[in-house]
Structure formats: structure tokens, C-alpha cells
Amino acid sequence: MMRPGRKNATRGFIVPIGGAENRVQNPVILRRFVKVCGGARAHIAVIPTASSLDDIGDRYESVFSGLGAGRITILPFKSRADCESPKYLEVLDRVDGVFMTGGDQVRLAEMLIDTSAAQRLCGRNMHGMHIAGTSAGASAMSSAMIASGTSGATPRAGMVDLAMGLGLVSRFVIDQHFSQRDRLGRLLTAVASIPFGAGIGLDEDTAAFIGPDDTLEVVGSGSVTIIDGSNLRNSPADLTRHGEPVGLTGVRLHILTEGNLYNLGNHTLLHSGLAAKSHGTVGSNAAALT
């Protein structure tokens, strides 16, 4: 059985990564994750389920060992029965952090949803265990998960397919490889589909370290796009034919870079960092962050 009181009662970090994180020359994201998990004392579990590569778990085991983590365990969830295995659940009860690899977020979610392993992930995170995921592992973190979609800057009806994710976060959707694959339109479309929603678009080699107080810190070489849909108005997506543009007003768009601190609860910039950038609004006159 999970022992929720075993760790502190403060939620652990949630760390979505945009994919293609630097693992060799300057692995700032993975090094920070190891440090958050306890450094040399850290026990990190790697879940390679999203990937079709047989050795992806071993690759991350080598990376985390090289970064000084004390112990790494691979949890090869290859069936839903594996997600009920007492041996694997005991590992989730003990580790300081979990890392979910890239690959196919639908495969990852379908394997884990409504299993004891998924319950452990959510419950342990609520009591201090940290969870990171890259690419597909990042997208699968949200309750409403982007399963697939098309590229382009303009939101269009039917541009994105949403599915049930792991529910580690519920108030925003996550997209990855964001600038590199021109995914602004599909994230806007996803946000418009969720009442009072928000979206996080992560460039490659860029992470959002989201703390227990909902403060997001940008780490990495790219940018994080925040779409604040809390004041979204005029979203006639249901009245628009498939493929046609969707009109959105009241959407605020923020571009955050390395060192920026942003509060996801009230959508305010807490610290601009040395290279802060903030774009104003899309379709509204609300003030830009400065």
C-alpha cells in the first residue's frame, strides 16, 4: 500500500520538457531534475512506456547516473497487468522522482490510466515525489491531453484531437516541440475547447519547473509559450466547419525564457530574468507582462 505520509505533505515538482533535451554537452534540465530529487541521494524511476525503442530506459539510466543520481530503476510498463505489479508499485512508493520518456503519449496514457500505477503517480506527487516527462511524457501529464493535431499558427476547427491524460495537472494543456513544429494554432484550439483553460507550449530543450505553489520557472535554451484563456470570449469552434479558422478574443499570450518565473494561478510574471520577453494579448487590450 502507498504510504502518503512517508514524504512531506507538499506537492512535488511537475516538470514538462519540450523534447530533444540536451543530454550530453549541457544537460541543464536533467541536471536540475536530479538536484530537485535529492542529488546523490536521489532514487529516480524511468518509465519508458511511450517509446518504441527498447533501449531508451537504459539510455536515461546512463544519463542520470552520469549526473550523479544515487539510484535509477527502470519501470518497463509493457501491459496494464504490469501497472498492477506489486514489485513495480513498491518502487513508486519509494522513489524521489519519476521520469517519463518521449514517444507516443496516447500509448503511455492508455497503458496507465485507471491503474494502480497511475494512482501512485498522482498520490505520491501530491506528497512530495517529483515527476518529469519529455515530449510525449510531457503531453500526457495533463487531464485533457493533446493526442494529435496539425501544424500552423491559426487556430482552426478540428485542428487538435484531445484525449484523457494522466491528470497530474488539470487546469492547462501541454504541447511540446512547440516552435520547431509550428504548434501555436493547435494549442490555441485546445485552450478554446477547455473552459477557463490555459496552455503551455514548450520548445525543444526547454522545461517548465512547476513548483508546489504553481510557480513556473523556465529552464533551457528555448522559450515557453503561455496561453491564458481565463478571459476567453467569442470562441465559435462548435459553429465552425472543419478546417475553418476559429475566432478567439480575450486570449493573453506570454513568451517566457530562461530564468523567468511565472505564477500559473493568477497569470502574473514574478521575475523577468535577464532575457525576459513578454508579448501582449491576442484579440484584447489587456496589458502585457513587463
How far is it, in rounded angstroms, from Cα 276 to Cα 75?
A: 38
Is-catalytic flag, 267?
no
Q: Can 204 be counted among the known catalytic residues?
A: yes
Q: How far apart are CA 140 and CA 176, in angstroms?
A: 11
Per annotation, catalytic residue among 142, 177, 193, 258: 177
55, three cell numbers = 533501449
The answer to whether residue 148 is catalytic is: no
Q: How far apart are CA 68 and CA 186, in angstroms?
A: 38
Question: Of 61, 204, 217, 258, which one is the catalytic site residue?
Answer: 204
C-alpha dist (Å) from residue 262 to 20, 33, 115, 215, 230: 23, 19, 33, 6, 15
Among 51, 61, 130, 135, the one annotated catalytic: 135
Q: Do the strands 251-257 and 281-282 form a parallel or antiparallel pair, or are they unpaired?
A: antiparallel
Q: How far apart are CA 212 and CA 229, in angstroms?
A: 22
Distance CA 286, CA 274 (A): 24
Cell representation of residue 288: 502585457
Put the strands of the sheet holding 97-100 in their side by side order: 71-74, 43-47, 97-100, 130-134, 14-17, 206-210, 215-220, 261-263, 268-271
- Indicate which residues carry an active-site annotation: 135, 177, 204
